[in-house]
Amino acid sequence: MEKTQLSTENMLLLPTIHAKFWLRFTFFTLAFLVIVTIYCMMGYVTYHNRQPLSAHPLKVTYCRPQNYILFIKVHKTGSTSVMNILQRYGLSKNLTFILPLVNNYLGKHTTLRLSPNTLVPHDNRAINILCNHVMYNQTAFRAVLNGRRVVDGSKVEKARLSCNQNFAIKGRRCGSKIDINQTTININDYTLFTMIRRPLTQVISAAYYYNLFPDISADNLMESILRRPSLFTNNRMSFDLGLSLSHFHNSTKVQEFIKNIDADFDIVLLMEYFDESMVLLRRYLCWQISDILYIKRNNGLHRPRIKVSNEQHERFCKDRASADCTLYDYFRPRFWSAVYAQGPDFFNEVHHYRSLLSLVRDHCFYIQDQQFDPKQNCGFDQDGLNQSNGVGNYLNQSKGIEKNNDNCLRIAASKWHSEFTIGTKECNIMTMDELPLVDHIRKLQYGR
């Protein structure tokens, strides 16, 4: 009797068990289908929004190198490293520089002008590169640069290579900006660029580099900057780019100034993203990746950390660096727009570039402790850096000489460059301090 009763109860429970089972099965099945559907939809959207690599060809594929360059060297923004890159490129191509008669300033608190203290190429020959400190002013730059004679202008576009129209900058001519029949230069034929950084870090860097507050501790530095402004801690970036002191806190004049910079400059780079900036610059200039190699300098790695409160930062941007903060906020998104316009391949090149930088840095630091013969250098012996002018001995910073040819770092070809080598001379230039290298170029080109 009891067995019959238990059996009857079990039979009554079976429909409930089956219902729960199918309910759970249905729930998990639907959840699985929903997840799969969402995943597939995401993949569909990604696929149809993804630009194929072929839609973003490298800027260097069908373009010609730019050899007329104006770099506005803004204080404490990584500009010394950029300057070194431009100097090494100019030396390798035998390009002409405009230089100060002494020191490294074309204008410390003034703009560009011709004077006995300014060295320019003879016979009214065009200036290829400007990269020393000077305040930017379009009118003054035109007066100095325009109308100078293009040397061998007929050969500039002799090959008439086909040119990728994506390379055209702000609607200007594709490839070399110098026309085949052009005999004189003007400011529109130059690639004009600069580099800026976050205003607060720029000011702190200047404060330490120039020892502006020698008796102030790191804990009190920010308050000292706020209370005791100087020309190096008060809108210095905007000042270097041409903003008048009297307009520092005039919002209308600041906006007008920024719009003029945006119109005049081909690109404004960011120090915080230095490697991305250099790869972007390489594409704009149609240079080789070997042309933009560098070794960091003046980077202040051993400075103490400065604590800055939100309130101090707000006061800084309002009272001490309103123009610089506005400038940076304006150009930061424009920089990233230019980067993203390059396509996904851009970041792959940046990653490769950083690998090369590591290799070159280690190689150059190694050979600095070795003894090599500059005559046996693996490259860089032509176009203005040959032994006949004594450059090898001048640039050689090794302790002695050993006659061998093992001082070459050979970089295999990649998607972004052909095979190239880095030797003693290239390393010496990359590791030279700013003033000695300016002195060297001055002696080489002007005998001063």
At 57 the pLDDT is: 36
Mean pLDDT of 104-122: 94
Instruction: Give the pLDDT of residue 19.
Output: 62
Confidence band, pLDDT 50/70/90 cuts, at residue 37: low
Angle at 426 between CA 420 and CA 427, to 5 degrees: 115
Spatial separation of the C-alpha atoms in residues 240 and 71, rounded to whole Å: 12
Percent of residues, the chain, with pLDDT higher than 70: 71
**Residue 179, pLDDT above cutoff 90:** no
Give the domains, in start order, of the chain with CATH numbers: 59-342 (3.40.50), 349-446 (no CATH)
pLDDT mean across residues, the chain: 80
CA distances to 34, 43, 109 from 133, in Å: 62, 51, 9
Q: Does 249 score more than 70 pLDDT? A: yes
Give mean pLDDT, residues 42-64: 41
Structure tokens at 67: 């050899």
Strands 191-196 and 409-411, by their bridges, are: unpaired
pTM: 0.77
CA 330 – CA 341 distance, rounded (Å) = 18
**What's the confidence (pLDDT) of residue 390?**
32
Tokens of 23: 């309910």
**pLDDT bracket for residue 196 (50, 70, 90):** very high
How do residues 253-262 score in pLDDT, each as one tens digit? 999 999 999 9
pLDDT at position 176, please? Answer: 58
d(CA 363, CA 375): 19
Confidence of residue 162 (pLDDT cuts 50, 70, 90): very low
Task: Report which of residues 433 and 160 the model is more confident about.
Answer: 433
